[in-house]
Structures are given as structure tokens and as C-alpha cells.
Structure 1
Amino acid sequence: MNREVIHAAKELSIQVIREAGQIAKERYDHFDMIDEKDGFGDLVTEVDYLTEALILKAINRVFPLHQVHSEEAGSNNLESDWLWLIDPLDGTNNYAIGLSVFAVSITLLFQRKPVLGVVFEPMANRLFVSIQDGKAFCNDRNIQIAKKADIRKGNIGWIQGHKVQHDEKATKLRHHLELNFKRLLRLWAPTIQWCMLAKGDIDGIVLYNSEGDDLYSGVLMVKEAGGIVIDFAGNPFDEMCEEPYLIACHPDYKEYFMNLVKEGLAL
């Protein structure tokens, strides 16, 4: 793995993600185009396309041989050990209804493992950056996952895939988690939840079959902030997976989360 590539990718990502975030911020609450893009009612706006085009142009200029997959444009169909994942507007549904909870996410993977994650929240002006074995930062300040004296009083995030909808197992598990924590958050902007966990603002995440361009930047962020990301069986989550079922938390809470998930799935 070439550290020079990662360093150059980091500098490029920081620059272009701020530019993309500025576009989203300037057009917030007064954009012109909005469409449904699938049968689940998910939305796409002109801002998704504008920010995506900006990011893709920058990556293709500097790394023309890298594989790239983006939320709206799909794949460039190149074969490479290096893979970029772009979510140009994570939280489009929030954005479309005037809820200012959204972000831009850029991830670089090497041989299917995330090595760089950059997330920008334009409305809060928060830039999150993580590099494999290089810690995690918010606006250049090192961040660490938090440990609560009583995890039962904690706030956790719930993330589920578009196709999950009202799956009975997912619904029962979600309800079980709600009964065993102070609050369960569903933000419709997964990267923000991952960054909140890395920053110590929430205390865990349970993810139910949600894989996409918005996942791996957050996974890396949590790991580099001292957290663990495991599947429901307790195995470390280290590389891409088409149907992930995940727990993310402080290492000391591993058994507690695993037991709760096991109980919820057995209902």
C-alpha cells in the first residue's frame, strides 16, 4: 500500500469536499430540481449531481487509473486495487425537506479495505478525516469514542438499508434496542451518525443490512477513534460486504451490544 497515494488522496479529498459542501450549503432550501430515483421513495436533487460531478472530475484528473463508484453515477468500470466511494449528498431526503442534517462523504479503499475517510458537514462546518493507523480528526482535533458509566443511559444510532423497510426481524430488533437505551436515533444520514460515534456524541450504532457508498468512511472513522466495528456474530468488520449486519461501539461494550442484538433477533 502506497502511503504517498493516500497522502495525495487526503489533500485532494479535503479540498474538493469543502467545495462540494459549499455548493450544498449555498443551495440549501432553494434548489430547483428534485426527483424520486427508486421504488422506495428515495430522492435525488440537482445538488447531488453538481457535487458529484465536482468530486469525480477532481479524482479522475489526479487518479485516472483508479476505480470509482459514486451514488448517482455508478462505477467507472476500471479495475484497480484502489477504489473510491463517493456519496455526494448523504441525507438527500433531509436536504429535500429542509432538514439541515446532511454531509458529503469520500472514501478510498485499497484491496477492498478502507484506508481514507473524509466526511464534511457543511451546515456545521465540521470536517472529519481518518486514515488507516493514523487516528481520526474533526477540524484537525483528535477525536475519541466515549465510554459511559452506564451504557443503558446511552444514545445509539440505528441504520437500516433501503430494502429493509418494515422487515419483521429488523422491527423487533429496533424496538428491543429502544427499550434498552435512553434514545435510539435515525438520522437518514448514516455518515453523520458514524462521525457522532467517533466524536463521542453517541454511544453505539447497530446497522441492519445497509451497504453503500456512505458506509466505509464512517467505519474507518470509528475504528481510528478507538471503537470496534463487528458483525452480529462478533467478528471484526474489515472489508467490503454486500449485506452487512454490524455493531459499532466502545470495546468495553462489545458483549452488552452482542447480547442485546441476540435477544432482539430471537423475539
Structure 2
Amino acid sequence: MEKILPIARELAIKAAIKAGKLAKHYFDKDKEISEKEHGDLVTMVDHLAEKEILSEILRHFPNHQIRSEEMGWTGEEGEWLWLVDPLDGTNNYAIGLPIYGVSITLIYNKQPVLGVIYDSHLEDLYIAEKGKGTSRNGVPISEVSTAFKRKGFRGMTVGWIQGHHVQKEARALDLKQKLDLTFKRVLRLWAPSLLWCMLARGDLDGIVLYNSEGDDLYAGILMAKEAGATVVDFSGNNFEGMNPEPYIIACNPKYIDDFLSLIGVPPGSRQHFNENIR
């Protein structure tokens, strides 16, 4: 692993920046938009950016498996897996909202070890490596907010992420409303990777994620953890590895119990909550 990670880091950085600049170039041009399931969108740029990233990965690591947003799975299962979202925030991008990015994750034995997120419009580069911290444009960041500056728990700004397939599920709507009624502001950016970067740099106090296991997820989680956030499931267990149906809370460690209480899970029943929610 020690030999692979430095090469992987450099190629992921190169590929993310190249894909991000491509997206920014086409931002105010014809994007050839089409619709996928659940009202999700895809553009010509998704495919062009994906091609750039995948060709870079395959040139260096032809035997690695890849799961990418548009092309799906390629390669045979092994120790190494790349997750690629070439244009996270396509729905924003399609309507001219400049909140979109690139997310590349390297997984080793089902554990994220490298995450690269590029905020394409602002040209900000975020890198997280397991055990080595998170950086923004080469400067280390560990600014997960302690929230006192926002006048306590109810003064927080919190991010909300839900899977496209969740749609208007009653339990999700109830939880989102509870967050809206509790916190100063609840953001749903439709570009989850950028929400994770906001948490890592201290501009967001927490994230609540409801059943959203996209190709952008694990880079974001690694970014937040390496910047000092605690990431747990709705039962209060540390979130590790990969999960096809994740329910997650991420925030400063001192507020985990407050978040868990907010979602309605008494301490004595937390170990059962994730089984009951489905």
C-alpha cells in the first residue's frame, strides 16, 4: 500500500483538477442535458469528465476495480477500488448554479484511504489521506466547528444529504422537518462532497445523511474524519468501511449525543435503531 498511495494521490489530484476545469469551461455553454431515474440529470460534461479520470486511473492501475457514477463497475474485484463522481452536483450545474465538484476515492479492503475533492468553480482542492489529515489547497485543515460561536446547538448550520431514491419518504420528511425546526439553517446543496468539505473547514456544524451511498460519499467521510469530525450511524456506532444503505451523523465529537437525541433515539435503544429504520 505504501508504494501505491503516493502514485494514486498524484494521479487523483491531476485527474480531479483536469475534470473540474473541463466542467468549468463548459459551465455557460450547451451541456446536452438528459434525465435519469428519480429526476436526476446527466450532461455531456459528466461523460467527458469521467472519461478523463478513468483513463488516468487505468493508465497507472489497469488491474484496479473502478465504480464510477455514469459507467458503473469496471474491472475485477480485489483489494483496491476507485470510486469516481466526475461531476458531483450535476443538477446544480445544469441550471447554472455554480456549486459542483469532482470526487475521487481510493478504497483498500473496503476502507477509504485516500479522498480527493475538487470544488470546480472555486478551484479549491481538498485532499484527505487516512492517518495523515485533511488539506485545502495544500494547507492542513482541522476546523470542525465547536459551535459555541454560533450560540450553541440551536444556532448551528447543518447539512442534509439524502439519496435520490428516498424522494418524499415519510420518515425522511419528518426528520428533515425536525432539523429545520431545531437549527438556525439546514443546507441541502445537491453536491454532497462540497458539504463534507464545508464541515472539514469549519463552515458547517454537522451533517445528517439519510440513505445516500453515492460515489462521492467515502471521500467526504474521510475528509471529515481526518479534520476531526466524529462520524456515527443512527445507532451511535462509529461508521467504518462501506454500507449500501448508510444513515449517518457527522459533527464535532462533543455534540454526537445531542444529534442522536434529536433524531429520536433514546440511549438505551440506539443499537436497534438502524435495523428498525428500514
Normalization by structure 1: what TM-score? Answer: 0.96
**1:209 counterpart residue number:** 211
Could you say which residue in structure 1 is the equivalent of 2:270?
none
Is the Cα–Cα contact under 8 Å of residues 31 and 45 in structure 2 kept in the other structure? Answer: no
The letter for the 1-side match of 2:230 is I
Equivalent position to 1:124, from 112, 122, 125? 122
User: Deviation string for 1:106-158 (max 9, x for gaps)?
Assistant: 00000111000000012111100000000000101111111111122010000
Q: How does 1:165-244 map to 2 (within 5 A)?
A: 165-244=167-246
| Structure 2 match to 1:252 | 254
| 2:10 paired with 1:8 | no
AA aligned opposite 2:104: I
- Tell me what 2:96 maps to: 98
> RMSD over aligned Cα, in angstroms?
1.4
What's the TM-score, normalizing by structure 2?
Answer: 0.93
CA distance in 2, matches of 1:151, 1:123: 31
Structure 1 segment 65-144 matched on structure 2, within 5 A: 65-144=63-142
Q: Which runs of 5+ in 2 are unaligned?
A: 267-272
SS in 2 for 1:187: coil
Q: Could you give the per-residue CA deviations for residues 200-255 of structure 1, whole angstroms, max 9, x where no partner exists?
A: 00000000000010100000000000001100000111111010000000000110
Give aligned pairs, total: 264
SS in structure 2 at match of 1:93? helix
Counterpart of 1:46 in structure 2 is 44
Q: What letter corresponds to residue 39 of structure 2 in structure 1?
A: G
Separation (CA, whole Å) in 1 of partners of 2:254 and 2:124: 28
Residue 32 of structure 1, CA deviation: 3.8
Residues in 1 aligned to 2:120 and 2:86: alpha-carbon distance in whole angstroms: 12
User: What residue number does 1:26 align with?
Assistant: 25
Q: Please say if residues 63 and 75 of structure 2, whose CA atoms lie closer than 8 Å, have aligned partners that are also in contact.
A: no
* Unpaired stretches in structure 1, ≥5 consecutive residues: none
- Over residues 46-83 of structure 1, what are the superposed CA-to-partner deviations in whole Å (9 max), with x where a residue is unaligned? 10000000000000000011110100001114121000
Is 1:152 the counterpart of 2:144 in the alignment? no
